[in-house]
Chain A
Amino acid sequence: MIIPWIPDLRVELAFRMDTLAAVLSILILGVGSLVLFYCARYFRPGDAQMGAFGSQLLAFAAAMFGLVTADDLILLFIFWEITTVLSYLLIGYSAHRLSARRAALQALIVTTFGGLTMLVGMVLIGDAAGTLRISEILAMAPQLLERGAVIDVAIALMLVGAVSKSALLPFHFWLPAAMAAPTPVSAYLHAAAMVKAGIYLVARLAPGFSESAYWHGVVLVLGLATMLLGGWRALRQYDLKLILAYGTVSQLGFLTLVVGLGNREAAVAGLGLLLAHGFFKATLFLVVGIVDHQAGTRDIRKLSGIHRSAPKLFIVALIGAASMAGIPPLLGFVAKESVYETFVHYAEKQGTAGAAVLLAGVVIGSILTFAYSARFVWGGFATKANCQPTAFKRVPWSFLAAPGVLAAVTVIFGLWPKPLDAAIASYADLYPADGDPTHLALWHGFTTALLLTVITIGAGVLLFLQRNRVEAVQARFTAPLDAERSYRGIIGVLDDVAVWVTGRTQRGSLMFYLFVILSVAVVTPLFALIVRDAPLPSEFHAFDSPLQPVIGVGIILGALAAVRANKRFLAVLMVSVTGYGIALIFALQGAPDLALTQMLVETIVLVAFVLALRSLPARLWQREPAGHRLLRALLGIAFGATMVMIAMTAMASRVAEPISLAFPNLAYEVGGGENIVNVTLVDVRAWDTFGELSVLAMAATGVASLIFIRGRGDKRRRAEGVATGSVDRGREHFASSGRQEATLALARKFSSVSRDAWLVAGRTLAPERRSIIFEVVTRLLFHSVILFSIYLLLAGHNMPGGGFAGGLMAGLALTIRYLAGGRFELAEASPVSAGLLLGGGLGVAGLSAAVPLAFGGQVLQSAIIKFTWPVFGEIKFVTSTIFDIGVYLVVVGLVLDVLRSLGSEIDERSEGVSSDDEETVVPEPDVASREEEEVAR
């Protein structure tokens, strides 16, 4: 079954159920369902994590099933990694135990490392073969092998994946550690499913690639070594589960050895052994789980007499262990006979010393297997002299059912292996048939294999009886190289390196980060310009008009002065000088809109700076500027030079026609306006402007939220309720001599009127703050300026102006009123809150964007409406003006927000009367001013 998935990478969802997949599926599905059945009795009824566990276990079965039926390499890899992740979750079930967490992480890291290596190998093979389909790759195997080193390396890499997953040397250490998992997990993953994935891979690749260069070296050496090491270590364990764990390691080495041998007999024997192992190992693990559940411990030094308290359990365990040890007439014996036969024939045929070593190794390994199987049975069930009989709860039948079924299967197929043999046969046919086809059978006749079996059993019994002496011998050995210690060492070094690198680069200092960023920004474009052979600028002209250098000098002087300024407001002023200079340049260059806007903005920014910085003390500025002056200067100059170079190169590289050549006609005919820039903003590129409006609204809200704590200061403070001359009394002494004091008292008397002459709320200001000239001028100018701003808005479509300039002009008018009359004046001047203006502006702009849709147009499409009015004559109205009105409102709202926050609110804070905040800047109450107020009345 094939479903195309990622055609570009040749990845398909291809599935194939052939013999090998079917054999493994028997294990996966059959043992899986039995383990799940067993879990129902294993967990306590109220265990909260059961749901996740069951789900993960079933998903694991599904992933394994997908793995063995996948016919696409990448699909196989995906299922492989799914099983890795699920095994992490399952092993870490008791997450409150450190050993479980550590074991889970260890398994994850080791198997993922193997998996990624395998992926590299897969990609190499897929690339060489031109396809990722496993069946096709295997069919092409002979041709691929002739390609030489690439395929050999790729196969070796894939073997690394199999080796890590199946816990072979040197990756074996994760399996015993994974015994921290609940027993059902061990029974399923570590006996029947996950570790078998590696074996499956070896079995899958063996028919085609067993002749590859590194195959025999890796498979045979590692397999044999693992088998012997696992068996040796299993004899030292006192935990039933660990005996089984090391036994599994040993058996996995054995399986790899057999399946990877590469001939027909080995294929039959290997699959038989695979099935047998799956059955007996799962049985034994489940038995261990029952023992642990009922007795509360797995330590063989503590268990005693269980064969009497749970006879049925004992029988099941005995069957499983006997199958592991290879005792007739069980399935384990049948499989092992075939294995012996395979190796005997192999040794006879090859005749090399290596084959003989293999045979000897296999026999020794089997002896060790017998010994630890006996240890298992004895340790778990026998009555021990120095131990009290263990308390053992009765085993319910449903608990025992699962291992019982598996034990029964072992017995049945041991006595009658024919169906298994028939099932496996077609896999074995993948190999050339040389000699008689072998079968799994209970009785092969008096062969060398039978002799070897007898030797094995005899020696195993001997080893078991001499167990004490064996233990003593083992105690004297210490392993020179410990895989797990090396693993921990590697991880530790990795951690140290990571901390060192992070410590060096992540210093926590913004200046350092900026340095790095800017240095890279300087170096990289230069590098790119040089390497890429950028076009050199060729045409230069010094200036367009002689005024430009003059203004330029002014700008540069202003910038340098701002850098060197030793007073805060001087620096601000100098920056404004550069801003005004740039406005002049705009004007000279033929950009009237820009000049207007820049001028207005610069003024408002200057006011904003002053308002914001007035509450900061002067001494902050005097503090020594940050160090590394030279370095910073160099970086600044380098950056400036880089930008100049980039600009010049960019302009020299222009080859295409500027698109803006089409703009004038577009603006007039389609946009209906003569001011091309304005039409661009509100019509041609209206979306950009809309985004800009949202930025303005956000910034205004941001300023308000930084200054105010609650609300936006929308509560209108009416000027009526404020006492005359009470605002901003200040605490400085204006008068230093008696005459000046008398003047001041006179001014106070005259300016304390109840009704204002010029400004609405000017009387609220303290007399020493008022300036009559300023008030008069403001009164005369304000309305004209507002009218002018509306003119700019409406006329902007055809003359310099537009929404931005108009809005800024209106904002400037409000600023003047605030500066002249204080915060109450501002409150009187703006009946509408800033939030309303911002929202309204955005809404209007949004409407003008959306409404054309209702008329069958596109978003933001403008229409030209012409009509005649009786007095005014013919009027041409373009609907993009509505958008401009939205812009106007937003800009006014922004300026109003800035004034309210940086102006009014800070005023109130500094006087200590703010209704809004919980902390005041000035701690002392304004007692003096209140006394004077009493006097003035």
Chain B
Amino acid sequence: MLVVLTVLFTVALVAPLMFRRIGRSAFYVLAAVPAAAFVWLLVTFPGTQVPTRRWPRALPTPRRP
């Protein structure tokens, strides 16, 4: 996750240089980065369906009626 984040930020940092080189088409390059992250997300997503914590049923009922 940190890797994805770092890659995103790094590409954002060097983006102006890319624009100076290839002009408008640099947007395609920029679009590819989150697309790759999206693919990564889809690939790893099924494994992370663990919820954080279930609501313990034994606890007293909520305060508001």
Q: Which residues of B contact A13 (CB under 8 A)?
A: 2
The answer on a CB contact under 8 Å between B41 and A430 is: no
Q: With the chains together, A261 CA to B3 CA distance in Å?
A: 35
Q: With the chains together, A560 CA to B5 CA distance in Å?
A: 73
The answer on a CB contact under 8 Å between B53 and A58 is: no
Contact with A along B37-48 (1 / 0, CB 8 A): 110010011001
The answer on a CB contact under 8 Å between B54 and A429 is: yes
Q: Which of A46-54, A646-654, A730-738, A880-888 contacts B (4 or more CB under 8 A)?
A: A46-54
The answer on a CB contact under 8 Å between A40 and B55 is: no
A868 contacts partner chain B, Cβ-Cβ < 8 Å:
no
Residue among B15, B52, B57 making CB contact with A54, cutoff 8 Å: B15
Most A CB within 10 A of own CB, among B16, B31, B52, B55: B52
Q: With the chains together, A22 CA to B52 CA distance in Å?
A: 13
Residue among B23, B31, B50, B59 making CB contact with A18, cutoff 8 Å: B50
The answer on a CB contact under 8 Å between A65 and B63 is: no
Report the nearest A residue to B3, measured CB to CB: A1
What distance in Å separates the Cβ of B65 from its nearest Cβ neighbour in chain A? 9
The answer on a CB contact under 8 Å between B38 and A66 is: no
Residues 267-313 of A at the B interface (beta carbon under 8 Å):
none
Q: Which residues of B contact A (CB under 8 A)?
A: 1-2, 4-5, 8-9, 11-13, 15-20, 23-28, 30-35, 37-38, 41, 44-45, 48-57, 59, 62-64
Q: Which residues of B contact A1 (CB under 8 A)?
A: 1-2
The answer on a CB contact under 8 Å between A29 and B34 is: yes
Q: Which residues of A contact B59 (CB under 8 A)?
A: 142
What distance in Å separates the Cβ of B11 from its nearest Cβ neighbour in chain A? 6
A549 contacts partner chain B, Cβ-Cβ < 8 Å:
no
Q: Which residues of B contact A15 (CB under 8 A)?
A: 1-2, 5
Report the nearest B residue to A432, measured CB to CB: B55
The answer on a CB contact under 8 Å between B32 and A430 is: no
Chain B, interface SS category: helix
Contact with B along A19-39 (1 / 0, CB 8 A): 100100110111011111101
Residue among A34, A45, A52, A61 making CB contact with B23, cutoff 8 Å: A45
Q: With the chains together, A501 CA to B57 CA distance in Å?
A: 58
A635 contacts partner chain B, Cβ-Cβ < 8 Å:
no
Q: Which residues of A contact B16 (CB under 8 A)?
A: 51-52, 54-55
Q: Which residues of B contact A65 (CB under 8 A)?
A: 4-5, 8, 37
Most A CB within 10 A of own CB, among B18, B20, B51, B59: B51
Is the interface on chain A under 10, 10 to 19, 20 to 34, or 35 or more residues? 35 or more
Q: List 17 A-B contacts (CB under 8 A).
A: A19-B49, A19-B51, A36-B34, A40-B24, A50-B19, A51-B15, A54-B26, A59-B9, A61-B8, A65-B5, A65-B37, A69-B5, A135-B52, A138-B53, A211-B64, A216-B64, A426-B49
What distance in Å separates the Cβ of A215 from its nearest Cβ neighbour in chain B? 9
Contact with B along A217-232 (1 / 0, CB 8 A): 0000000000000000
Q: With the chains together, A22 CA to B47 CA distance in Å?
A: 11
Report the nearest A residue to B56, measured CB to CB: A142
Residue among A19, A58, A432 making CB contact with B30, cutoff 8 Å: A58
The answer on a CB contact under 8 Å between B33 and A33 is: yes
A427 contacts partner chain B, Cβ-Cβ < 8 Å:
yes
What distance in Å separates the Cβ of A34 from its nearest Cβ neighbour in chain B? 7
Q: Which residues of A contact B (CB under 8 A)?
A: 1, 3, 13, 15, 17-19, 22, 25-26, 28-30, 32-37, 39-40, 43, 45-46, 50-52, 54-59, 61-62, 65-66, 69, 135, 138-139, 142, 145, 207, 211, 213, 216, 423, 425-427, 429-432
- Contacts A32-B34, A207-B55; is A58 near B5 (CB within 8 Å)? no
Q: With the chains together, A247 CA to B47 CA distance in Å?
A: 36
The answer on a CB contact under 8 Å between B19 and A431 is: no
The answer on a CB contact under 8 Å between A139 and B48 is: no
The answer on a CB contact under 8 Å between B53 and A211 is: no
What distance in Å separates the Cβ of A419 from its nearest Cβ neighbour in chain B? 10
The answer on a CB contact under 8 Å between A26 and B5 is: no
The answer on a CB contact under 8 Å between B20 and A33 is: no
What distance in Å separates the Cβ of A753 from its nearest Cβ neighbour in chain B? 79
Q: With the chains together, A1 CA to B12 CA distance in Å?
A: 23
Residue among B1, B17, B28, B38 making CB contact with A17, cutoff 8 Å: B1
Residue among A37, A52, A432 making CB contact with B28, cutoff 8 Å: A37
Q: With the chains together, A34 CA to B27 CA distance in Å?
A: 10
Q: With the chains together, A204 CA to B17 CA distance in Å?
A: 38
- Contacts A43-B24, A138-B53; is A57 near B4 (CB within 8 Å)? no
Q: Which residues of A contact B37 (CB under 8 A)?
A: 25, 29, 65
Report the nearest B residue to A427, measured CB to CB: B51
Report the nearest A residue to B9, measured CB to CB: A62
**Shortest 4 CB-CB distances between A and B: which pairs?**
A51-B19, A62-B8, A51-B16, A55-B15
Most A CB within 10 A of own CB, among B25, B31, B35, B45: B31
Residue among A3, A22, A36, A216 making CB contact with B27, cutoff 8 Å: A36
Report the nearest B residue to A42, measured CB to CB: B27
Q: With the chains together, A417 CA to B44 CA distance in Å?
A: 20
- Contacts A26-B38, A51-B16, A62-B5; is A138 near B30 (CB within 8 Å)? no
- Contacts A19-B49, A33-B34, A65-B37; is A430 near B12 (CB within 8 Å)? no
The answer on a CB contact under 8 Å between B15 and A58 is: yes
Q: With the chains together, A58 CA to B18 CA distance in Å?
A: 13
Q: With the chains together, A90 CA to B23 CA distance in Å?
A: 19
Q: With the chains together, A57 CA to B13 CA distance in Å?
A: 11
Q: Which residues of A contact B31 (CB under 8 A)?
A: 33-37, 39-40
The answer on a CB contact under 8 Å between B12 and A33 is: no
Q: With the chains together, A264 CA to B9 CA distance in Å?
A: 36
The answer on a CB contact under 8 Å between B33 and A18 is: no
Residue among B24, B33, B55, B63 making CB contact with A58, cutoff 8 Å: B33
Q: Which residues of A contact B34 (CB under 8 A)?
A: 28-30, 32-33, 36, 58, 61
The answer on a CB contact under 8 Å between B27 and A54 is: yes
Report the nearest A residue to B19, measured CB to CB: A51
Q: With the chains together, A283 CA to B31 CA distance in Å?
A: 17
Q: With the chains together, A34 CA to B56 CA distance in Å?
A: 41
Report the nearest A residue to B48, measured CB to CB: A17
What distance in Å separates the Cβ of A682 from its nearest Cβ neighbour in chain B? 53
Q: Which residues of A contact B11 (CB under 8 A)?
A: 58
Q: Which residues of B contact A423 (CB under 8 A)?
A: 45, 49
Q: Which residues of B contact A39 (CB under 8 A)?
A: 27, 30-31
The answer on a CB contact under 8 Å between B30 and A54 is: yes
The answer on a CB contact under 8 Å between B63 and A45 is: no
Q: With the chains together, A220 CA to B1 CA distance in Å?
A: 34
Most B CB within 10 A of own CB, among A65, A207, A431: A65
Residue among B15, B24, B25, B32 making CB contact with A33, cutoff 8 Å: B32
Most B CB within 10 A of own CB, among A43, A61, A138, A423: A61
Q: Which residues of B contact A213 (CB under 8 A)?
A: 63
Q: Which residues of B contact A29 (CB under 8 A)?
A: 34-35, 37-38, 41
What distance in Å separates the Cβ of A330 from its nearest Cβ neighbour in chain B? 22
What distance in Å separates the Cβ of B37 from its nearest Cβ neighbour in chain A? 5
The answer on a CB contact under 8 Å between B30 and A57 is: yes
Q: With the chains together, A55 CA to B57 CA distance in Å?
A: 48
The answer on a CB contact under 8 Å between A211 and B63 is: yes
Report the nearest A residue to B15, measured CB to CB: A55
What distance in Å separates the Cβ of B3 from its nearest Cβ neighbour in chain A? 10
- Contacts A26-B38, A36-B30; is A55 near B55 (CB within 8 Å)? no
The answer on a CB contact under 8 Å between A51 and B20 is: yes
Q: With the chains together, A58 CA to B23 CA distance in Å?
A: 16
The answer on a CB contact under 8 Å between B12 and A50 is: no
Given contacts A34-B31, A54-B27, A65-B8, 12 further A-B contacts (CB under 8 A): A1-B1, A3-B2, A15-B5, A17-B48, A37-B28, A51-B18, A54-B30, A56-B12, A61-B8, A65-B5, A66-B5, A430-B53
- Contacts A1-B2, A30-B38, A33-B35; is A62 near B12 (CB within 8 Å)? yes
Q: Which residues of B contact A19 (CB under 8 A)?
A: 48-49, 51
The answer on a CB contact under 8 Å between A58 and B8 is: yes
Q: With the chains together, A45 CA to B19 CA distance in Å?
A: 10
